[in-house]
Structure 1
Amino acid sequence: MATLNDLLRASTRLDAPDREWLHLLVGDWQLISDLSFADLVLWVRRTAPEDPSAPVLTGGPIDSIQVGEWVAVSHVRPNTGQMAFYDDVVTRAAPPHLRTLIEDAFENQGVVRSPQVHHHDEVRVRDEAFPVSRAGRPIAVVSRHTNLGGRTPTRLELTYVSIGDALVRMVAEGAFPTMAAPSSGPRGAPRVGDGVIRLDADGLVLYASPNAISSIHRLGHKGAVIGTVLATIVAEVLSRSESPVDESLALVLTGRAAWRTELSSRSATITLRAVPIMERRQRVGALILSRDVTELRRRERELLTKDATIREIHHRVKNNLQTVAALLRLQGRRLPDGQAKTALEEAVRRVGTIALVHETLSQGFDETVDFDEIAVRGLQAVVEVATSEHQVHSTVIGSFGRMRAEDATSMAMVISELVQNAAEHGLADRDGLIEVRAERRVEDGDDIIVVTITDDGAGLPTGFRPGLAGLGTRIVTSLVGDLRGTIRWANREPSGTIVTFNARLRRIDRDR
């Protein structure tokens, strides 16, 4: 499916600023559609593009559209009422009854309504068209199609339509969309269905929808909303609240600038968006959209508190493990050289490896870690401790990527044990190199990582059998099993050892 930019470049000679203006309009025209209870369709006159790099679109209705005809490049349906078109009309040419309407709107640079009601799929539809203007000239046309239904509109609907009409006139004058408006904001941006407030030029509330009145009452205001200056209401609420005040709040409450803000009291939090209403470049009022986001913000705070608690737990576990390692190290220093002292030194290294994983988790925002940092730091720590008489270099090739905490702990322990064995036994009497290589891939929908650890030392002892080896090898075999993988030891030519193991990693929840 071609994007709006592809359609504009392939079908018109509009320059980049004009195309960007249409992108801004389409990014915000859901507001007009919802206020109008109508479908909106964006039309451009098809011309031969001058840009040789413009995409060539083939297939579908667009093939039959001739130069000079009007082609639909975008379509939006209302969230607040019945739609007029069930099928998507993008890439289709304007039908004859709409072509005249579109031409009149483009030539006269004003809003044009069809004198007749048309039937579309057994639905009575009222058609209108208005130009999209930029820099004082029309660049496209939007048609508005209202499903008339069969009932009398309510006061709310009539008010919404009048505000939608004002925005339509602003589009025709080139005053909407607004370049200064923020393109994005925090979760909970208000929509028409959440609450609508209509202000006059002085900030007096002329109309407020039931949802908007409810959200203001939840802030703590007990009196009337309609007929009161909105800024006065909010000032009275804030006087009883200790919440910080956004510096842009005054601009939004008076409707003087197209902006968004958030307002919090002791009892509720609402988001506000202001859209100044202009007539002939003069501000005559404003549309304020409001949304009660109290529960949304409460859940966000809970998640932040939960994340902070989890990070603090990992931090304390890391500290406790380091304390255990320190106690074991002190105990080891009191023992004479022998098996007991060696066992304590290995225990210190293993506890330190687990502590390294928890340290990394304490610095993140979820239960996954970037294992590349752990691999490098762990490799360097093991090599530095295990080799004191000979010069052993180490390197990590490839990327482990992110993995869940339970996989990271087992992976770190396996690598630590294998590197320790390579440094302590394979390179006990010589200089050398230990290389850790990681390769990650997807097999049958599973995330597989293959790790190869090589050294250029003495190689495996004669008659080596993993099942009869020492504690470290048995730990490695058990942990690789926990990772749902396999491991293989082999001699390396001309000298050294190569150990290859694979792990089937647990799936990471991308929505966390």
Structure 2
Amino acid sequence: MPSLTKFLSDATGAVSPAAEWLQLLVGDWSLVADLLRSDLVLWVRREEQIIAIAHCRPSTGQSVYYDDPVGDPAPADVEGLLAGLLRGDAVDRGGRGVEREGRPAYLRLAPVRKDGKLLAAITIETSGQETGSGTAEARMDALGDRLLCMMDAGAYPIAGAPIPPRRGAPRVGDGIVQLDAQGVVQWASPNALSAFHRFGVAGDMRERTLAELSTEVIQSRSPVDESLPLVLMGRAAWRSDMQARGGTLSLRAVPLTEAGTRTGAIILVRDVSELRRRERELMTKDATIREVHHRVKNNLQTVAALLRLQSRRMKSEEARAALAEAMRRVSTIALVHESLLQGSEETVFFDEVIDRCLRLAVDAASASVRQEGAPAIEGAQVEVRTSKEGKAGAVRAEEATPLALVVTELATNAVEHGLSSTGGTLTVRSERKGSHLVISIEDDGVGMGGRGGPTGLGTNIAQTLVQGELGGTLTWENRPSGGTRAIVDVYLDPIAV
């Protein structure tokens, strides 16, 4: 199905400001659909046809469409009316009976204007099974019609309305309150009354100011959003939360205007007490997890420092080298926990870990090797340059630790056995396609010669981690231009969003 953006870019006369306005309308027209309990279909003229470019189903009533009409030309029973409306002719916007997919429906038309220019037309199609005979339905119909009038005047959607991206956005079915221009309650739906009663507002709310009713029960010690008074009075198209009695209400205000003058407002309300409680629990758990990572990192760094002190007391070069390797491996694990402290999720941006692993591998290698740009301690030292190519992306914490150990072991092996006598370049090349990750650790040193691959404790550790922990493969090969290439090929678990 083509996207709305594609339709707008292809539609004749849909210049950028008009396209942006229609995008804004489609982003907020579910309010109108829910108030009128009707399907909304947006129509524009494209070449010689009138095409449906967007469709919204109501969440408060029955939809008249089983198949989405987006991309379809206007049906014969409404094509003439739409053509006249899009030409700017005076068209009867009263309702008429139609048939949709073998079922009776009731259809009306409404124009969409911005700055006096006609941009598109909307059909409001209501199922024939919707009676709309109750007081609540009549109130909702009247409010929906007022929004259609604002749409005709170019006042809806409300341009520049800063709607914060908070979860738990209220909708018509959650609860709706109608205010007059002074913020006095004219009508409230049953769900809205229940939400405010649970919040602590007792008795009949009608003919009372919503701001005064809410102020009486708001917790004085809790911080209050500075936008809350504007929302409760219906003066600004904003969203805000209100807390009392351990509960939380999410409020959204939609001012109603006529000829540029505010005449009232719609307040959508939803009880989000449980949602906010779970969010607070998640925030507490997140802080706890961060503290755990912080303490683990500190403990590992302490262990590495103790190993360093112990290695200095060793007289045997073999024992000193073994402790240095252990210190390097502990430091690598600490790097992963430090990276987990930086993000809000249990994932690690592994490219940053690779940078640190390269520095650690060169620093912990033979004394005859120094990092590029580092001052030479003695003339026998050779310089090792490091390079990183490609992107490894985000990796789950469970896989980041073994993968970091593998990269560090292979990089250290390349420095100590491939570059310690000649110097050169150590390159880590990453290729990521979805969950498939290939990391190549290359050096341009002496190479393996006729040997099938390196051996030793570090190599065995890397092989075990790749095969056992990551379920991948580790292979070595000689580079055509000289040197050695180690290839880690793994399929990572998908990251939950």
Structure 1 and Structure 2 fold alike (TM over 0.5): yes
C-alpha distance 495-160 of structure 1, shift in aligned 2 (>3 A):
closer
**Counterpart-to-counterpart distance in 2, 1:463 and 1:141:** 75
Q: Are the counterparts in 2 of residues 72 and 91 from structure 1 also a CA contact under 8 Å? A: yes
CA apart distance, 1:80:
0.7
Identify which of 432, 438, 444 aligns with 1:449.
438
C-alpha distance 143-242 of structure 1, shift in aligned 2 (>3 A):
same
C-alpha distance 30-209 of structure 1, shift in aligned 2 (>3 A):
same
Match of 1:154 in 2: 134
Q: Are the counterparts in 2 of residues 318 and 356 from structure 1 also a CA contact under 8 Å? A: yes
Match of 1:370 in 2: 349
Q: Are the counterparts in 2 of residues 128 and 144 from structure 1 also a CA contact under 8 Å? A: yes
Residues 489-500 of structure 1 correspond to what in structure 2 (within 5 A)? 489-490=476-477, 496=483, 498-500=484-486
C-alpha distance 470-218 of structure 1, shift in aligned 2 (>3 A):
same
CA apart distance, 1:138:
2.9
* Deviating more after overlay: 180-189 vs 350-359: 180-189
Matched, 1:224 2:210: no
**Counterpart-to-counterpart distance in 1, 2:110 and 2:413:** 77
CA RMSD after TM alignment: 2.7
Identical residues among aligned pairs (%): 45
Question: Residues 96-138 of structure 1: CA distance to partner in whole angstroms, max 9, x if unpaired?
Answer: 5434544665646687214x43343443322221222222243
Identify which of 88, 97, 106 aligns with 1:117.
97
Structure 1 counterpart of 2:472, one-letter code: G
CA apart distance, 1:84:
2.4
Identify which of 135, 138, 141 aligns with 2:121.
141
**Counterpart-to-counterpart distance in 1, 2:332 and 2:306:** 16
Match of 1:60 in 2: none
**Counterpart-to-counterpart distance in 2, 1:451 and 1:501:** 4
Match of 2:271 in 1: 292
* SS at structure 2 position matched to 1:182: coil
Question: Residues 258-307 of structure 1: CA distance to partner in whole angstroms, max 9, x if unpaired?
Answer: 22222222421121111111223322211111111122222222222222
Match of 2:333 in 1: 354
C-alpha distance 456-248 of structure 1, shift in aligned 2 (>3 A):
same
Residues 391-402 of structure 1 correspond to what in structure 2 (within 5 A)? 391-398=382-389, 399-402=391-394
* SS at structure 2 position matched to 1:227: coil
Aligned residues: 482
Match of 1:432 in 2: 423
* TM-score between the two structures when normalised by the length of structure 2: 0.88
CA apart distance, 1:193:
0.8
* SS at structure 2 position matched to 1:508: coil
CA apart distance, 1:228:
1.8
Q: Are the counterparts in 1 of residues 472 and 491 from structure 2 also a CA contact under 8 Å? A: no
Identify which of 237, 240, 251 aligns with 1:272.
251
Matched, 1:405 2:397: yes
**Counterpart-to-counterpart distance in 2, 1:269 and 1:235:** 14
Identify which of 337, 341, 349 aligns with 2:320.
341
Match of 1:129 in 2: 109
C-alpha distance 337-256 of structure 1, shift in aligned 2 (>3 A):
same
Structure 2 counterpart of 1:277, one-letter code: L
C-alpha distance 424-288 of structure 1, shift in aligned 2 (>3 A):
same
**Counterpart-to-counterpart distance in 2, 1:341 and 1:8:** 70
Structure 2 counterpart of 1:396, one-letter code: S
Q: Are the counterparts in 2 of residues 220 and 267 from structure 1 also a CA contact under 8 Å? A: no
Q: Are the counterparts in 2 of residues 45 and 70 from structure 1 also a CA contact under 8 Å? A: yes
Q: Are the counterparts in 2 of residues 255 and 276 from structure 1 also a CA contact under 8 Å? A: yes
C-alpha distance 294-111 of structure 1, shift in aligned 2 (>3 A):
farther
Gapped regions of structure 1 (runs ≥ 5): 49-65
Structure 2 counterpart of 1:400, one-letter code: A
**Counterpart-to-counterpart distance in 2, 1:119 and 1:422:** 75
Structure 2 counterpart of 1:193, one-letter code: G
Structure 2 counterpart of 1:208, one-letter code: A
Match of 1:58 in 2: none
C-alpha distance 150-489 of structure 1, shift in aligned 2 (>3 A):
closer
C-alpha distance 477-87 of structure 1, shift in aligned 2 (>3 A):
closer
Match of 1:488 in 2: 475
Q: Are the counterparts in 1 of residues 410 and 441 from structure 2 also a CA contact under 8 Å? A: no
Match of 1:188 in 2: 168
**Counterpart-to-counterpart distance in 1, 2:249 and 2:257:** 25
Q: Are the counterparts in 2 of residues 111 and 169 from structure 1 also a CA contact under 8 Å? A: no
Matched, 1:166 2:146: yes
**Counterpart-to-counterpart distance in 2, 1:405 and 1:452:** 21
Match of 2:241 in 1: 262
CA apart distance, 1:95:
4.1
C-alpha distance 366-189 of structure 1, shift in aligned 2 (>3 A):
same
C-alpha distance 11-412 of structure 1, shift in aligned 2 (>3 A):
closer
Q: Are the counterparts in 1 of residues 39 and 55 from structure 2 also a CA contact under 8 Å? A: yes
Match of 1:51 in 2: none
Question: Residues 361-389 of structure 1: CA distance to partner in whole angstroms, max 9, x if unpaired?
Answer: 22222222122222221221221232433
CA apart distance, 1:163:
0.8
C-alpha distance 392-141 of structure 1, shift in aligned 2 (>3 A):
same
* TM-score between the two structures when normalised by the length of structure 1: 0.86
**Counterpart-to-counterpart distance in 1, 2:9 and 2:225:** 41
C-alpha distance 420-140 of structure 1, shift in aligned 2 (>3 A):
closer
